[in-house]
Amino acid sequence: MSFGQPVASLEIQVALSWAVRRALEFREPSVSAERAADAMLRMLGADEVRWQMLPGWGASGEGVPVAQEDEVEATLRLAHWRARRDLRRSAADPLPEWDPRVRVGLGRALAAAAEAPSIRCLGFRLFLRALLVECASPGEWSEFIRRFHLRPDEEFLLDGTPPVSSASAFLKPVRKGDPVLSALAAPAVLRGEAVQQAVRGGCALVGQAHAVMAVCALDYLMAITRIRLADDAVATNGGARALAELGVTYPDVKNFAMDLSPGPAEIPREDKAWRAGRGDPPFGADLYHAAGEAARLASELGHRYAGSSHLLFAIASDATGPGAQMLRAHGVDPSVLAMRLGRELAP
């Protein structure tokens, strides 16, 4: 599997969301590079830094590397989203903006990670180094290096934690070192991942296109973490495998931010599984109805749970839907994909 450009790790999203909350607490209009650096130093076990009022190095004067712009914006959206969830705020509630130095530091860190073949998820140490260049005085920089034993050729270039928090709560270890994703948990994980893909792209609704991205993303992240599908989930969760064999993987689709959903669904109040959480973009009618078709198909085939194969079959069968449009944009004939998945699912 090709891992493409690195993505920001879970710890970076968590640290940045903590920095957002601290900025709100102090009624600051923006999340400064200092706040973000403090958050990551805190994750290293340090107390919050009292930044010296000395002339620092200041902003580098560089912009975000062009190749990293999409991932920078996606990461900052996800950090805001996590902060909203923690604070139980709606999407309409304003949050502090991002200091340009945070954007530049994250972009430079992602660019450095892209040059290291072993890094697939940018860790916060490399991001911390980039931020310290933006906001620390030379004396502070030397102190950080000494105090935390940060060596650029070692700890800075460590792979970060893959952003699979939505999956981790559902993992059921069969034996030590063998985490698996069961058929029962897979649909919930897929829904959670679809929400994150919509947030990454800054989309107003979670639609079929985001479900396709979620199928690819979950497979990509499971490969990094060595999580595998449980035996009861393999037969009904072959969507990612089918897409990969047709040339579509997560690095190909992760920046497909076009909001193709035709409008929000009137989701029944009792259907809690498809209700959006506070601060989440709502599910669109296109995805809601595709999920219903997937559940109906699973029931007809005698499967207990609707997996990625059922959902992708329903999306590909909706020839005029936004999911099919996305598949065509990546060179996949939806009817060919639907026939293949139908054959695999048939008893």
Rg, C-alpha atoms of the chain: 21
CATH code of the domain in which 324 resides? 1.10.1780.10
Q: How far is CA 172 from the centre of its chain?
A: 22
- The total domain count for the chain is 2
Q: Which residue type, as a one-letter code, is found at position 69? A: E
- What does the pLDDT look like over 173-194, one tens digit per residue? 555 566 788 888 888 889 889 9
User: In the prediction, which pLDDT does 277 show?
Assistant: 66
The reported pLDDT for the residue numbered 54 is 39
Most confident listed range (121-125, 263-267, 300-304): 300-304
Residue 292 has pLDDT above 70, yes or no: yes
Is residue 7 classed as helix, strand or coil in its secondary structure? strand
Count of residues for the chain? 347
Q: Please choose, from the candidates 106, 96, 151, 104, the residue with its C-alpha nearest in 3D space to the C-alpha of residue 128.
A: 106
**So what's the pLDDT on residue 283?**
84
Q: Rounded mean pLDDT of the chain?
A: 82
Among 132, 157, 182, the domain boundary falls at 157
- 213 & 319 share domain: yes
Give the Cα separation of 329 and 171 in Å (integer): 33
Query: Domain for residue 2, yes or no?
Result: no
Tell me the two tokens of residue 84: 């909203």
Burial 213-241 (b: 16+ CB within 10 A, else e): bbbbbbbbbbbbbebebbebbeebbbbbe
Q: For residue 98, what are the β-bridge partners?
A: 31
Task: Report which residue type is found at 216.
Answer: C
Structural domain ending residue among the three candidates 141, 157, 173: 157
Question: What average pLDDT does the segment 216-236 reach?
Answer: 87
Among 4-18, 31-45, 97-111, 129-143, the range scoring the smallest mean pLDDT is 129-143
Look up the domain containing 181 and give its range: 165-345
Which whole number is the average pLDDT over 282-293? Answer: 88
Residues 36, 38, 40, CA angle at the centre, nearest 5°?
Answer: 75
Question: Would 1 be classed as within a structural domain?
Answer: no
Q: What is the pTM of this model?
A: 0.85
- Do 91 and 213 belong to one domain? no
